[in-house]
Each structure stands twice: as structure tokens, then as C-alpha cells.
Amino acid sequence: MKLIVTKDYEALSTRAAGLVIEHIQQYPSSVLVLATGNTPLGMFARLVNAYRRGEVSFHNCSLVELDDYFNISLDDRRSLYKWLAAEFINQVDIPAENIVRFNTASTDAKEECARVEQAIANLGGIDLLVLGLGPNGHLGFNEPGSDFESATRVITLSAASIKSSAQYWGKEEDVPRQGITLGLKILSAARHTLLLVGGKQKTQIFNSTFQGPVTNSIPATILQQQQNLTVIVDKAAAGNISTRSA
């Protein structure tokens, strides 16, 4: 694992965008999985700017959704796909046919999950996975207790995730109760992974993720075993780790 501690969130975002761009320059046909949430927003803004300046093209990339709410219509205001589309997809040149989106309105969850896993297999697996860190240690919607071998599936959101997601949609009652997520098994096979952690509210979970035992009560601890993992953390989130690695 490579740990990069940045002075603040802006520097974290610049570093993250730089690494994504370098990756795509090296592997132009990358299969990307990019988290939503607040943490990657600065990175997306920088990627869009770099694309506009002609410094990077996503034309040969594919993109697979990491997670979304389930049992909501495709145009629901809380669609995580719509969030990703507004911040990134619609502003760059990824061809629509290269995008694998969850059908959040599917009436057959099992079949929908199998379809997405098959699509990833057909693409040859995930090349670059960019993750945020849930305050409860979730990765995507792999909530505490998720098996490390878990497949892509529909889950019931934990109380902690409902609470932390309320900031996106208004209040807790506005947060959908179900999610659909790539499973830990397929995420752990990603060839390159970038984890972004920012803000002092993440210090405790960041410490538990990398300094505690590997346990599925904190799904993110699976990253201790991840191949080619780069962690970018700002000083506020790094806590005592930042002084040790500075």
C-alpha cells in the first residue's frame, strides 16, 4: 500500500485526479469504477477540467457503477448514477455504450446483480477502482457484517449509512432504505485501487481501517490485503498517521 498524506482536501483532490489521469494515459481502455459521495467531488471537477483542456480522454474507457439505491425509479432525484452523471459522466467523453448502470427499478434483484457481474467479467475485470470511506467502514454499500467473499447484491442500508446519507438528500426519511452494490469479492480483485479519505470526521474510521484487525465488522479493513492500493488522505483525516508519515 502506498500512503499519500496531503495538506488539505484541495491537495487530495488534485493528487487523486493526477493519479487517475496517469492511469488512463498508461491504460487508455481502463474499466473504471468511481465512487459517489462528497469526497470525490473535487477530483471529478479536476478531471473534467483536464478533459476540457485536452489533457485526458475517457473515450476508450468503460465505467461501471459502484453502488446505487435500489427500488427507486431511474430518474429519482436520489439516483447515485444521476449524481455521477452530473459531476462527471455527462461532462467528459465516455461513450454511453461503455457505461454499465444498475437498473435501480428492476423487479428481479438477483438477475440484475448477475447481469452487472457478467458485464464486468466481459470487460475483463476492474482496472481502476476509486473508493470513498464510509463513516462506518462501508465500501460501496457493503455494510458492516458483509462477507469478504460477497457477490454483487441488494442490501438493506444500515442505520449509520442512512444517517450519513441524510446530508445528501435532506433528512433521514428521504434516504432510500435499500441499496445495490458491487460485492467485496469483485472489488477486491480490482487491479488498481485508490482510496480517498478527507476531513477530521474520518480520522477514527481511517485509523480502524488500517491499524486495527481485518474484520468484516469494518468492511474497509479488507483493503489491508488489496493489491496495488494507493490511499490519499488529508491531514485532518490522517490524525496521528500524518505525523508519522510526514
**164 binds ligand PGA, rule: CB under 6 A:** yes
Residue reference for cell 488529508? 234
∠ Cα 99 169 136 (to 5°): 80
Compose the 33-72 pattern: x for residues touching ligand PGA by CB under 6 A, - for all others. ----xxx---------------------------------
Active site residue 87: no
Cα 184 versus chain centre, distance:
12
Q: What is d(CA 79, CA 231) in angstroms, rounded to the nearest whole number?
A: 27
Contact positions with ligand PGA (CB under 6 A) in 181-220: none
**146 binds ligand PGA, rule: CB under 6 A:** no
Find the shortest distance in angstroms from Cβ 160 to ligand PGA: 9
Find the shortest distance in angstroms from Cβ 22 to ligand PGA: 22
Q: What is d(CA 15, CA 54) in angstroms, rounded to the nearest whole number?
A: 18
**137 binds ligand PGA, rule: CB under 6 A:** no
CA atoms within 13 A on the CB side of 161: 21
Comparison of 118 and 156: residue with beta carbon closer to ligand PGA = 156
Active site residue 192: no
Comparison of 89 and 130: residue with beta carbon closer to ligand PGA = 130
Q: Are 198 and 234 in contact (CB under 8 A)?
A: yes
Helices (H), the chain: 9-26, 41-52, 80-87, 109-123, 159-169, 184-188, 203-211, 235-238, 240-245
Comparison of 134 and 176: residue with beta carbon closer to ligand PGA = 134
Q: What is d(CA 59, CA 101) in angstroms, rounded to the nearest whole number?
A: 17
Which of 42, 132, 137, 183 forms a contact with ligand PGA (CB under 6 A)?
A: 132
The residue from 87, 136, 216, 234 that is catalytic is 136
Could you list the active site residues?
A: 67, 136, 138, 143
Interface with ligand PGA (CB under 6 A): 37-39, 132, 134, 138, 164
